[in-house]
Amino acid sequence: MNLSKVKEIYDSPLIESEINLGGWVRAFRANKFIELNDGSTIKNIQCVINDGIIGEDIIKRISVGCSLIITGILVNSIGKGQSFEINVSNIKLLGDSDPEEYPIQPKKHSFEFLREQSHLRIRTSTFSSVMRIRSKLAFSIHDYFNKNGFNYIHTPIITSSDAEGAGEMFKVTTLGKEDLAKKDVDYSDDFFGKKTSLTVSGQLEAETYALGLGNVYTFGPTFRAENSNTSRHASEFWMIEPEMAFYDLNDNMDLAESFVKHILKYILTECEEDLSFLEERLLKEESQKPQNERSNLSLIEKIKFTVNNEFTRVSYTEAFEILKSSNYNKKKKFKYLLDNWGSDLQSEHERFLVEKHFKSPVIIYDYPSKIKAFYMRLNEDDKTVRAMDVLFPGIGEIIGGSQREERLDILKKRMSDMGIDDKELWWYIDLRKYGTVPHSGFGLGFERMVMFCTGMSNIRDVIPYPRTPKNASF
C-alpha cells in the first residue's frame, strides 16, 4: 500500500500532487471536513469532501476514531488554520468506530480515565507527543554513546545477586505452590537452581565490562518491589548506566553534563512541535493553579535552562552550609530543616540550590559515606565518598553516580562494615584483584528524563503500560 505520511506532507508539501493517506479521524465537521491523523506527527491534515464526491453511505459512517484511506489532491487552503488541505476524491473506510462506544472522544479526558484505556490513549495528542519524545530521547542516548565510542551492553534482568541493596526485589520462580509451601523452600529445585530476582541495577555487571572494553553503557529495564504509590515511582522502569574505565569523578561529571546537554539539544531540535504542544498544555493546566504552585519556567525554557547553563559543581559540605544558613532554613520554609552535617538532601533542598541559589543545574559531589552505597570510592577524609548527584530545575536529582572504589582492601572493609556478603560478589571483588583501575559511572532513570522533557507529572503517563502496586493491566 503506497501511502504517504502526514509528516512527509508537512515536511515537503507537493501542491497539486495526488496523495494516498491512511489514518484515523480525529474530528469530522459539517459532513465535509475531516481532521486525519496517522501518528507520524502531532499535526492533523484537513481533508475536504466536496458535495457529491463521496457516497452518503460512507459519509454516515465517518466518526471519530474510524480508520480511512483517503485519496485526493493536495491544494492550498483558503480556510483558516492550515496552509494546505486535501481535496478528497476517494475514501476507503477500513474500520468503523461506534461513537456510542469509542472511549476516546474529542473532549478533555482525565489522565486517570485514560490510564484505564492505555491501549487507546496513544491516539490522543498528549500521549502521542509524549511517546514520540520518549522514542527520540531513547535514540539520542544511543546516538550519543555510539558517537563517543561506548559499547552498549545488555546486563542480566534475572539475577541471583541481591547484594546491591538498591531496593526491594521481585522473586522470579517456576516452582509450583507445593514446592514453595515447604518449610524450607529448596531453591535448588527451582529453574535456575537458586533463588533469583529481577535486577535493580546493571551497574556491577557494567563495571566488569568497562574493565575490558573501556567505556560501556546499559539501557534496560530495572525493577523495584516497593509498595510506594507515588506519582514518581514505578515498579518497572528503564535505566541508563554508563561505566568508564580510567575515569575519575571529574571525568564522570564532565561526561554527565555533556551527555544530558546532548540529549536535550537533540529533543529541542527534533521534537519542536510536540514540545510546543505539551508546553501549551502545561501552561493551561498551571493557569488553574494558585500562583505559588506555578513554575517560573515554561517547559521549553526549563530544557533550555539546562542546555545553556554551565552546571555548578559544589561539594556536599559547601551545599549543606549554603542550605543551612539560607533564609529558607532559618525561616522554616523547608519541610525538612537542615541541622546536622551528614543528613541526606531532599528534593526541596536540591531545587532551592538550582532554582534560587545558583540559578543553574548543579552537581553535588563528595557526599557523606554513610548515606551512600558500598561501591563508592572513599575519600582521604574517611567520611565522604566520591559520589555525585546532578540536580535539575523542577525535580531535583536526575542523575546519581560515583567514582567506584577500586582498592581491594578498602572495598572489602566497606562491604564488611555494611554487612554485604563478599562471597556472593566474588566476581565483583575479582575486578580489584586483577588489573584494577580507577573507574566511574552514573545512572539516569529514563522515565524521570521523559517527565522532565514532557512536563508530565505522573510517571504512569510517560510509560506505555506502567506497572505499579496492584496494577499490571494489559
Residue placing its CB nearer to a second copy in the complex, 247 or 392? 247
Single out the residue of 48, 53, 58, 69 in contact with a second copy (rule: CB under 8 A).
69
Interatomic CA distance for residues 415 and 373, integer angstroms: 9
Q: State the minimum distance, in angstroms, from the CB of residue 380 to a second copy.
A: 18
CB of 412 to a second copy, least distance (A): 15
Residue 306 to residue 304: CA distance in whole angstroms: 5
Looking at residue 304, its amino acid is: K
Closer residue to a second copy (CB): 234 or 362: 234
Which listed residue (191, 308, 336, 417) binds a second copy by CB under 8 A? 191
Helix or strand or coil: residue 416?
Answer: helix
Tell me which of 13, 167, 214, 368 binds a second copy, using CB under 8 A. 214
Q: Based on CB atoms, which residue is closest to a second copy, 120 or 283?
A: 120
**Whole-number Å distance between alpha carbons of 55 and 32:** 12
Choose, by CB under 8 A, the member of 27, 193, 228, 289 that binds a second copy: 193
Does residue 345 touch a second copy according to CB under 8 A? no
Burial (CB < 10 A; 0-12, 13-18, 19+), residue 314, is buried
Does residue 249 bind a second copy (CB under 8 A)?
no
Using the minimum distance from each CB to a second copy, give the nearer residue, 225 or 337. Answer: 225
Please, what is the minimum distance in Å from the beta carbon of residue 414 to a second copy? 18
Examine residue 131 and tell whether it contacts a second copy (CB under 8 A): yes
Q: Is 342 in the site for a second copy (CB under 8 A)?
A: no
A 10 A CB-CB count for 207 gives 22
Minimum Å gap between C-beta 156 and a second copy is: 4
Beta carbons of 27 and 107 less than 8 angstroms apart: no
266 lies in the site for a second copy, by CB under 8 A: no
**294-299 contacts: CB < 8 A, separation 24 or more?**
295/394, 296/355, 297/393, 297/394, 299/275, 299/454, 299/455
Q: Position of cell 514520540?
A: 132
Contact 436, 394 (CB under 8 A): no
Told to check if 59 binds a second copy by CB under 8 A, we report: no
Q: Does 113 interact with a second copy (rule: CB under 8 A)? A: no
| List 48, 59, 157, 322, residue binding a second copy (CB under 8 A) | 157
| 422-441 binders of a second copy (CB under 8 A) | 427-428, 430-438
Residue 196 binds to a second copy (criterion: CB under 8 A): yes
Site string for a second copy, 359-398 (x = CB under 8 A): ----------------------------------------
User: What is the rounded distance in angstroms from the CA atom of residue 310 to the CA atom of residue 305?
Assistant: 9
Place of cell 495526488: 18
Residue 50 engages a second copy in binding (rule: CB under 8 A):
no
Joined grid coordinates for residue 184? 524450607
Find how far residue 139's CA is from the centre of its chain. 12
d(CA 23, CA 64): 11
Interacting residue with a second copy among 35, 257, 279, 406 (CB under 8 A): 406
Decide: is 187 part of the binding site for a second copy (CB under 8 A): no
Write out the DSSP string of 353-368: IIIIIISS-EEEEEEE
Cβ atoms of residues 220 and 238 within 8 Å: yes
Q: In what order do the strands lie in the sheet with 151-152?
A: 151-152, 215-223, 236-245, 439-445, 396-403, 384-392, 362-368, 312-315
Q: Which amino acid is at 176?
A: G
Cα–Cα distance for residue pair 249/264, rounded to 1 Å: 23
Q: Does residue 159 interact with a second copy by CB under 8 A?
A: yes
* The one among 44, 46, 155, 306 contacting a second copy by CB under 8 A: 155
Does the footprint of a second copy cover residue 258 (CB under 8 A)? no
Residue 3 CB, shortest distance to a second copy, in Å, is 5
* E strand segments, 224-324: 236-245, 312-315
Amino acid letter, residue 126: T
Q: Which of 16, 51, 57, 101 binds a second copy (CB under 8 A)?
A: 101
Size of the site for a second copy (CB under 8 A): 109
Of the candidate residues 52, 55, 149, 290, the single one contacting a second copy (CB under 8 A): 149
Q: At closest approach, how far in Å is the CB of 172 from a second copy? A: 5
Of 158, 297, 371, 418, the residue at the interface with a second copy (CB under 8 A) is 158
Report the SS3 class of residue 208. Answer: helix
Q: For a second copy, which residue of 220, 242, 401, 455 counts as binding (CB under 8 A)?
A: 220
User: What span, in angstroms and rounded, lies between the C-alpha atoms of 129 and 27?
Assistant: 18
In sequence order, what are the beta bridge partners of 25?
36
Residues paired with 403 in a beta bridge: 440
- Interface region with a second copy, contact rule CB under 8 A, candidates 106-114, 202-210, 288-296, 393-401: 202-210
Residues 444-463 that bind a second copy (CB under 8 A): 463
> Which residue number, 5 or 324, has a Cβ lying nearer to a second copy?
5
Please tell me whether residue 167 binds a second copy under the rule CB under 8 A: no
Based on the shown chain and the rule CB under 8 A, indicate whether residue 166 belongs to the binding site for a second copy. no
* Helix (H) or strand (E) segment spanning residue 424: none
Residues 6+ apart with CB under 8 A from 280: none
What is the footprint of a second copy within residues 12-41 (CB under 8 A)? Answer: 22, 24-25, 38-40
Q: Work out whether 354 is an interface residue with a second copy (CB under 8 A).
A: no
